[in-house]
Amino acid sequence: MVTLRCGDPAPEFALLDQSGSRVRLGDFRGRTLLVYFYPKADTPGCTTQSCAVRDARVDFSGLNLAVVGISVSAVRDQDAFDKKFGLGFPLLSDPDHAVAEAWGTWGEKSLYGKKYKGVIRSSFLVDEEGRIVDAWYKVSPKDTVPKALKALHH
């Protein structure tokens, strides 16, 4: 499994967002980008994480920061999730988990003793040139925003 570190180039992506538009990593050149991976749209932890990012818009303003969330959920599920919670930033659909694999966020998980493969909740800060500034694997839904803000202010 890949583990991205500070200074690594962020793996490219070109995925559909909740409105069906193709979004690419290169679309964010010249801006800092917070990329967070979550297992499934509209589940408790993913809702906590996504709403925290939404609510941090004020904290992120003036930092030239863009945000994208990525999960294996279908475009229609991402759209419903965005509309239900008024998230207002791109939610990208990675149904074949190829992007999650490239970023090191696809791996073995366990629930009630049963092992399975899935998205490992993680977040990344990518600089204006497309390089990893910081990476947080197995991040708590509540820690995505505080970790990003701490990194942005250092």
> What angle is formed at CA 32 by the lines to CA 26 and CA 36, rounded to 5 degrees?
85
51 is known as an active-site residue: no
User: Which residue pairs, CB below 8 angstroms and at least 24 apart, start in 145-154?
Assistant: 145/52, 145/53, 145/55, 145/56, 145/59, 147/123, 148/34, 148/56, 148/123, 149/56, 149/59, 149/60, 151/125, 152/32, 152/60, 152/63, 152/65, 152/125
Q: Which residues pair with 58 in a beta bridge?
A: none
Q: Could you say which of 46, 75, 135, 139 is catalytic?
A: 46
């998230």: which residue's tokens? 87
Do residues 41 and 17 make contact, with C-beta atoms less than 8 angstroms apart? no
């999960």: which residue's tokens? 71
Residues acting as catalytic residues: 46
